[in-house]
Each structure stands twice: as structure tokens, then as C-alpha cells.
Chain A
Amino acid sequence: MTPFLFYTLSFLALYGALNTIFRKNPITCAMHLALTMVALAGLFFNIGAYFIAGVQLVVYAGAVMVLFVMVVMLFDNKQTSETKDNKHMAVKVFISVFMLGILSGVIPHSTGFTNKIVAPEVTPTKSLATLLFSDYVLFFEWIGVLLMIVAVGVVLLSRSEDS
């Protein structure tokens, strides 16, 4: 892993993530989120997790974010970008602080990051696939079921009662 690439891509990812939160124009936010996704894919490439990098590009940057952008484009931008939502400020602040507390509580228990990326003996994709379909097959299937429930739910909700 080259340090230069790592720092460039990390900067891009953080820049995109911050802009996603702080920009007013929804399209700009969505594009910065897409930038974050692409930078993350680059980071995955950088550590040799090629399959995950490719999936990150195809699924998140190439499909999910495209849908986001498409939906945002359908809104009337002038209205959405000028509204300011100040309701329930106390609840929002409480939830944010709560989440921050959980995160900062977890960080000391992290095992830390090793600086060296060891070149794996087998192809990473193959070992990933083997793990997914042996040790983690139950979780893998559960996620599939979860996605299925979401899909069925969306179809059910988007249909009107009489049809």
C-alpha cells in the first residue's frame, strides 16, 4: 500500500463525507457522497481487496447513489434547499451526543490497526467466498432474507389498496 495513495484517497473520502453533511444543494451532497464511495473503493483496491472494491463501485457508487441522485433530481430544488428544519432540536442533539458517546466508548476497545498489509497466500476473493459460504453462511442467508423482506415491503406499500 502506497502512503501517498492512502493519504490522497483518505482525504478525498473525508472531504466528500464532510461536504455531504454541510452542503446545502442536495445534488452537491449526493455527488460528494458518490465521491466518498469511489474513494473508499480506491482504498479497498489499495489494500488488495479487489473484489470488495469492485462491488463497492458497482453497487454503491454505480447503482445506489445513481438512484439517490435520480430521486433528488425529481424534487424541486429551490424549495428543499431553502427549508430549514429546526423542530425537535433537543431530540436531535440528544441522539447525536448519544451516538458520539457510544463511538468514543468503543474506540479504546478497538484492537488497533496494523501498519503492515501482509500479502495473502491465496487470492483474497477466493478466501472471502469460502468464508462467506462456510463460516458465515447463516448471516449471509439472513441478509438475503432481510433484503427480500425489504423488497416485498416496498412492493406492498407502493401499491394502493384497491388494485
Chain B
Amino acid sequence: MGEDIFSSVINTVKIVIIFLFMVHMVPLLVWVERRASAFMQNRFGPNRVGPFGLTQLLADLVKFIFKEDFASSKTNKFYFYLAPVLAIIPVALAFGSLPLSSPIYIDSFQLFGYSLGPYLFEIRSFPMDVGIIFVFGVSSLAVYSLLLAGWSSGSKFSLLGALRASAQAISYELALSLSLLGVLILFNTFSFDQIIEMQNQSLNFQFFSKEIKINFLPNWGIFYQPLGALLLFVALFAEANRLPFDLPEAEAELVAGYHTEYGGIKIIIFYMGEYGHMLVASSLMVILYFGGYNLYPLLNEEILQSWLLPNFSLTATSLLTSLILFLCFFLKVLFFLWVFIWVRWTLPRFRYDQLMDLGWKTLLPWSLFNAIATAVVIWLVNWGNA
């Protein structure tokens, strides 16, 4: 947790705040989703409660909380209540290990007669050397929630939804892992910090022992791995069960799929899981392919410090830097969240065989090709150096 009471308290508060941040994105995203869909379909959307209908979600939440906690007699009670919990734990763990901003440095100071510090706090719940592996490890557990929800509900629709969900999750997990290989070979590390650090410079690479450098472009993964980024994004859509991959809850065929029998606060927790997945997916895209919290030529830790350090103390500079970089990260993430919503209201749902064809016959071969091509190209351009 930390070396002394102060750092332990800060770390605990940090974990709680990051979790609450994730949870509080849900009503906002639901609002954006409903307003955006209304805009795209030439409707009004929620616009009565509060300014722009913003407090509609608060009203909904109150309704959901006070709804009767109902479980039909056919359900297996233990797993029925366990499923929503399992939906949110993997997402919270995955989100907790992502670096959201530059670390905060707190200079030594006096508090109640004790001299404390200096400290360095990372903006994430817990440090994880093997960030990518950990994130994919825990997110792959999220499918249990869908399976158990479907099975324990004791309803045919739920069971069918759960079967679709598990088949889909397993099929797309292969493409997901393989599309990542390219970026792993490129950056040669599992750690998010190192990946962000490597993208925090101008675009430069070795081309047959010639140094090529483009100063106005950042060294982002997207310039090396456009295909990998696209494949990963599509696979993440499928993992998050978002339209056009939302067959587990296709309402035209399955009522509401795996969560047909759920209501009240339990369904809210499922929503938290789904939107949490979107948040993790968008953050992953930003960290792996779009430079994380840095915006290289304009905004990074050194540039901000050179502006702020003459006017503020070391601690204040670090805090402000972290805040500004967090906003930068957040704006990038918001863009991808918007793409998630945009796609949902633009594309129709796949048929089940189309879904499986896309997963096994398109994404899987292309991601394999991407991994092998990346390895071969990196081996070739480094020919002279070896």
C-alpha cells in the first residue's frame, strides 16, 4: 500500500476515486448514447428532466434502486446474484491497472509536526509491470458473468443469449490477442509505461541502417500498426458486446438475452460492466496506438514542466501537469467512446453466421498476417544492426 500512513491513505483514496470515476462515466455515457441516437434518428431524446435532460439518468437510477429485488422461482439464486458482481469486478481490475496520467511528485512537507515525503504517486490503482497481459487476463473472465446470468435465470432466452455470448467471446478473443502481437513486437515490452514513453517522441525508425525522422509527427503506434489497430478495435467491440456484435442480447430474437430476467439495481450493474468495457477498450486504444496521456509535439510532461516550473512549486507543478495530461488522455478516450456510440447507431446487427465468419475467416487470418508481417519487417529493417 505505501511506506507510511500518509501514502497508504492517498493510495486507498486513489483506488476509490478511480473506481468511482469509472462508475460515474456510466450515466454520462448513457445520456450521450440516448441523445446521440435521438439526434441521428431525428428525435428529441430525453430532454425534460433538467438541462438537456441531464438529470434523467439520476431519476432513472432512483427508479432502479427502489424497484423490487425480484428473482423468479426457477432461478439458481446464488449464481443469479453472483453474475452482476462478476460483470463489474474484471472491468474494475482492468481499468485500475491503466496509467491515466503522469505520476504526481509530492515534495517533503510538514504535517502535525511530522516531516513527510517526498512521494511519487502514480495515477492508477496499482502498478502492473505486465499491463497488457494483466488487462487481457482479467477481461477474459468477464464472460463468466454472461454465462452464469444466462444459465441461472432458468429461462430459454437467457440461456440462448449466454451461449451466443460465450461462443462470441471465445471466437473474438483469438483475434484480439493476435492483433495485439504486432504492437507487442513493435514496442518490445508489456508495460504500459514503457509503451507510452516510447510514443513520446517524434516519429523515428531505422530503415536499412538509415535513420528516418519526421519531426512534426509523434511516434504513435497507429503509424506503424494501422491494420493491427483496426483489428483490435473491431475485436474489442465484440468483447464489449456492443452493436453490431450484441447478439447475446438481440431484443428481436431473445427479448433481452442473458439479462432478460434481471431488473432493478442488478441490471444497472450489468450496464456498468458494459460501459466499463467500453472505457477500458477506448483507453487501451489510446495507450497502445495514440500515445497515452501525451500529445507529443504539443503537450507532454517536460513541456508542461518547462512552462509551469518557473511560476509554481515542484508539487504544484506536478499536480497541474498530471491534471492537464489527464484531461488530454480523457479527451482522446472520449473520442473513442463516441466512436463506440456512433457505430452502434449507424450499423445494423450482424446475423449469427456473419458474426462467426467475420471472427474466424476475416479477423483471425488478418491478425495472424499482421503479426507475421510485423515480425518479418522488423527483422528485415534491422538486418544491418544485428
Contact = CB atoms under 8 A, between A and B. Distances in A.
Contacts of A51: 130, 133, 190
Contact of A57 (B138, B143, B147, B167): B138
Nearest to B135: A54
A54 B166 contact: no
Contacts of A62: 137, 140-141, 143, 173
Contacts of A27: 76, 79, 151
Nearest to B128: A50
B140 A61 contact: yes
Given A62-B140, A63-B170, A70 B163 contact: yes
**What's the dominant secondary structure at chain A's contact region?**
helix
B144 A50 contact: no
Nearest to B129: A50
B177 A58 contact: yes
Nearest to B190: A125
Please indicate which of the listed interface residues B130, B134, B143, B148 has the most CB atoms of chain A within 10 Å of its own CB. B130
Contact of A54 (B130, B159, B167): B130
Interface in B137-163: 137-138, 140-141, 143-144, 147-148, 150-151, 159, 162-163
Contact of A67 (B129, B144, B170): B170
Nearest to A70: B166
A13 interface: no
A27 B140 CA distance: 19
Q: How large is the interface on B (under 10, 10 to 19, 20 to 34, 35 or more residues)?
A: 20 to 34
Interface string B73-104: 00010010000000000000000000000000
A58 B137 contact: yes
A58 B136 contact: yes
Nearest to A73: B151
Contact of A63 (B147, B150, B151, B173): B173
Contacts of A31: 79, 144, 148
A54 B136 contact: yes
Nearest to A123: B129
A53 interface: yes
A14 interface: no
Contacts of B141: 38, 57, 61-62
A17 interface: no
Interface string A110-125: 0000000000000001
Nearest to B140: A62
A69 interface: yes
Contacts of A125: 130, 190
Contacts of A74: 163
B169 interface: yes
Contacts of A57: 136-138, 140-141
Interface string A70-84: 100110000000000
Contacts of A73: 147, 150-151, 159, 162-163
Nearest to B136: A58
Contacts of A58: 133, 136-137, 140, 173, 177
A56 B134 CA distance: 11
B140 A69 contact: no
Given A51-B130, A125-B130, A125-B190, A66 B169 contact: yes
A63 B140 contact: yes
Nearest to A57: B137
A43 interface: no
Interface of B: 76, 79, 129-130, 133-134, 136-138, 140-141, 143-144, 147-148, 150-151, 159, 162-163, 166-167, 169-170, 173, 177, 190
Given A34-B144, A57-B141, A69-B144, 7 more contacts: A38-B141, A54-B136, A55-B137, A56-B137, A61-B137, A62-B141, A66-B166
30 contacts: A27-B151, A31-B144, A31-B148, A34-B144, A38-B141, A50-B129, A50-B133, A50-B190, A53-B133, A54-B136, A54-B137, A55-B133, A56-B137, A57-B140, A58-B133, A58-B136, A58-B137, A58-B177, A62-B140, A62-B141, A62-B143, A66-B143, A66-B144, A66-B147, A66-B166, A66-B169, A66-B170, A67-B166, A69-B144, A73-B150
Interface of A: 27, 31, 34, 38, 41, 50-51, 53-58, 61-63, 66-67, 69-70, 73-74, 125
